[in-house]
């Protein structure tokens, strides 16, 4: 089958979180399974752009309301990522350094989607599936079906994957003029709660809707930022497919970011060496259990409870644990972590920012990974942690609930708790510190986790079946 993935992120070109990882890996494994998979994304000004070779594939023009724009589609020439990669350039809109966070993000991503359908309608052949990811691409299924100029695309089946329903891309009705000549009778297919809602529109218009774990799919029906009724109504076409991880990028035996590699057999010594190098760099004691947090410092991740939870755990364990935090996000949370560095020297340290290399070293060197997430559609961090023999300490929600089994259960290897609260995190750290003393138990859990199969190879088939159901 020929599958066109449309996304705002794709690792290693541009990644703000797990969406980038998924769109950088799923197409690669679809190609390995015998499909033709292509990725189309905006052309940001990233390092990857400057370091690789490109050819111009197409030049076109369209309108965003009254604004006429020209766009260029470029293609990476060497198949470096294992799939065809196309970037759409729109001067003045997409050519920025960051993926998100600009005042005109609505215009940027709407124009990107218009350019995409405009370009696709010039193709002589039709792909078998257009697979869109998250709200930045949520208007594509609507435009393919109900914009007069793109009528040619109306028979191509679409799949929409929700990686995060917290963000929906709502815009006022005044912006409906951005959407190229469309069938006004279909207004309801754009609308949710009196606004144009790209996420809701995609749920209504796409042939199938998926999200990235079974539990999150269930949660959306009672907690999805106001879209609960829609998920209930559309439940017949919605399903959960758990994300995989790219075992080639995330392999402790070959990881290019690590200096000390290890495997299931050498996990205890291998992790200890990685831990020593991390602890040396951050002034922590490698003899104590090392807890890490890696992620966006936002409410969804319950990052704001961590400063107090860590302080409380340091107090309760009498300084018997060390902590290292990597992340960026809300200023107050960043500030709270920075304020802890001096008073808790030797026990706590933090890097505020985004650092791919350090994140790999932390998965490899840590004993425990903290994830108190309030909302976690899938969560890749815990799966990376497991692959690197790091015990996940997670709140029972979404994908965390589907991938982590508490060590109190048969074949358990992680720690689960129910509330995103200081006391639950503190208590769970206490459980972790106790089990850390039992070296044999730790080794058994590590070896067990490392062998769990979260590979994309075993997940790709589920998407194939879904696509086939639409042919």
Task: List contacts with ligand GLC (CB under 6 A).
Answer: 17-19, 22, 163-164, 212, 243, 376-380, 399
- Residue closer to ligand ADP by CB (options 21, 260) is 21
Neighbours of 57 (CB within 10 A): 14
294 is a contact residue toward ligand ADP (CB under 6 A): yes
Helix (H, G, I), strand (E, B) or coil at 321: coil
* The binder of ligand ADP chosen from 218, 276, 355, 406 (CB under 6 A): 355
- Residue closer to ligand GLC by CB (options 18, 157) is 18
319 binds, among ligand ADP, ligand GLC, none (CB under 5 to 8 A by kind): none
Q: Which of residues 369-428 bind ligand ADP (CB under 6 A)?
A: 378-381
Which two structure tokens, joined as six digits, stand for 361? 């070293």
- Residue closer to ligand GLC by CB (options 270, 392) is 392
Q: Near ligand ADP by CB under 6 A, which window of 176-184, 189-197, 324-332, 439-447?
A: 324-332
212 binds, among ligand ADP, ligand GLC, none (CB under 5 to 8 A by kind): ligand GLC
227 within 8 A of 200, measured Cβ to Cβ: yes
459 is a contact residue toward ligand ADP (CB under 6 A): no
* The binder of ligand ADP chosen from 6, 8, 21, 23 (CB under 6 A): 21
Q: Burial level of 162, CB count in 10 A (0-12/13-18/19+)?
A: buried
The full DSSP string for 224-248 is: STT-HHHHHHTGGGEEE----B-TT
- Residue closer to ligand GLC by CB (options 16, 189) is 16
- State the residue number with the nearest CB to ligand ADP: 18
* Minimum gap (Å) between residue 275 Cβ and ligand ADP: 18
359 is a contact residue toward ligand ADP (CB under 6 A): yes
In terms of Cα–Cα distance, which of 100, 114, 222 is closest to 165?
222
397 binds, among ligand GLC, ligand ADP, none (CB under 5 to 8 A by kind): none
In terms of Cα–Cα distance, which of 400, 426, 427 is closest to 414?
400
In terms of Cα–Cα distance, which of 177, 186, 176, 178 is closest to 154?
186
- Residue closer to ligand GLC by CB (options 22, 391) is 22
299 is a contact residue toward ligand ADP (CB under 6 A): no
247 is a contact residue toward ligand ADP (CB under 6 A): no
112 within 8 A of 62, measured Cβ to Cβ: no
CA distance 392 to 403: 10
99 within 8 A of 8, measured Cβ to Cβ: yes
In terms of Cα–Cα distance, which of 169, 170, 162, 104 is closest to 133?
162
Q: Burial level of 53, CB count in 10 A (0-12/13-18/19+)?
A: exposed
- Residue closer to ligand GLC by CB (options 11, 178) is 11
85 within 8 A of 114, measured Cβ to Cβ: no
328 binds, among ligand GLC, ligand ADP, none (CB under 5 to 8 A by kind): ligand ADP
* Minimum gap (Å) between residue 12 Cβ and ligand ADP: 11
Q: Near ligand ADP by CB under 6 A, which window of 167-175, 348-356, 388-396, 421-429?
A: 348-356
376 within 8 A of 397, measured Cβ to Cβ: yes
CA distance 102 to 97: 11
100 is a contact residue toward ligand ADP (CB under 6 A): no
Instruction: Please give the residue ranges that form the binding site for ligand ADP (CB under 6 A).
Output: 17-19, 21, 294-296, 326-328, 354-356, 359, 378-381
């Amino acid at each position: 089958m020929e599958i066109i993935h449309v996304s705002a992120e794709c690792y290693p070109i541009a990644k703000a979180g797990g969406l980038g990882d998924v769109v950088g890996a799923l197409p690669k494994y679809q190609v390995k399974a015998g499909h033709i998979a292509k990725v189309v994304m905006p052309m940001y000004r990233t390092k990857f752009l400057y370091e690789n070779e490109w050819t111009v594939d197409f030049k076109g023009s369209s309108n965003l309301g009254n604004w006429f724009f020209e766009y260029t589609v470029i293609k990476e020439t060497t198949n470096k990522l294992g799939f065809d990669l196309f970037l759409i350039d729109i001067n003045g809109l997409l050519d920025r350094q960051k993926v998100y966070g600009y005042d005109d993000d609505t215009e940027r991503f709407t124009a990107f989607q218009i350019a995409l359908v405009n370009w696709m309608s010039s193709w002589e052949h039709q792909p078998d599936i257009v697979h869109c990811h998250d709200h930045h691409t949520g208007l594509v299924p609507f435009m393919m079906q109900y914009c007069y100029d793109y009528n040619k695309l109306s028979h191509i089946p679409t799949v929409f994957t929700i990686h995060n329903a917290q963000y929906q891309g709502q815009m006022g009705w005044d912006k409906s003029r951005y959407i190229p000549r469309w069938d006004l009778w279909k207004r309801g297919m754009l609308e949710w709660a009196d606004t144009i809602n790209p996420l809701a529109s995609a749920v209504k218009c796409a042939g199938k809707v998926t999200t990235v774990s079974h539990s999150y799919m269930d949660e959306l029906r009672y907690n999805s930022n106001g879209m609960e009724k829609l998920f209930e109504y559309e439940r017949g076409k919605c399903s959960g497919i758990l994300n995989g991880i790219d075992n080639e990028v995330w392999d402790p035996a070959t990881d290019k970011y690590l200096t000390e590699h290890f495997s299931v057999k050498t996990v205890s010594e291998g992790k200890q060496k990685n831990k020593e190098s991390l602890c040396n760099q951050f002034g922590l004691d490698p003899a104590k259990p090392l807890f890490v947090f890696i992620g966006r410092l936002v409410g969804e991740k319950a990052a704001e409870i961590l400063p107090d939870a860590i302080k409380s755990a340091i107090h309760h364990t009498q300084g018997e644990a060390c902590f290292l935090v990597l992340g960026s996000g809300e200023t107050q949370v960043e500030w709270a972590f920075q304020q802890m560095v001096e008073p808790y020297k030797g026990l706590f340290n933090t890097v505020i920012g985004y650092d791919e290399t350090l994140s790999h070293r932390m998965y490899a060197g840590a004993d425990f990974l903290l994830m108190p997430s309030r909302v976690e559609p899938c969560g890749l961090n815990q799966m990376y942690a497991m692959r690197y023999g790091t015990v996940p300490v997670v709140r029972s929600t979404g994908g965390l609930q589907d991938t982590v089994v508490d060590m109190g259960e048969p074949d358990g290897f992680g720690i689960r708790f129910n509330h995103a609260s200081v006391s639950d995190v503190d208590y769970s750290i206490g459980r972790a510190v106790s089990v850390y003393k039992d070296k044999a138990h730790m080794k058994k859990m590590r070896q067990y986790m490392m062998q769990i199969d979260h590979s994309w190879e075993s997940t790709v088939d589920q998407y194939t079946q879904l696509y086939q159901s639409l042919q």
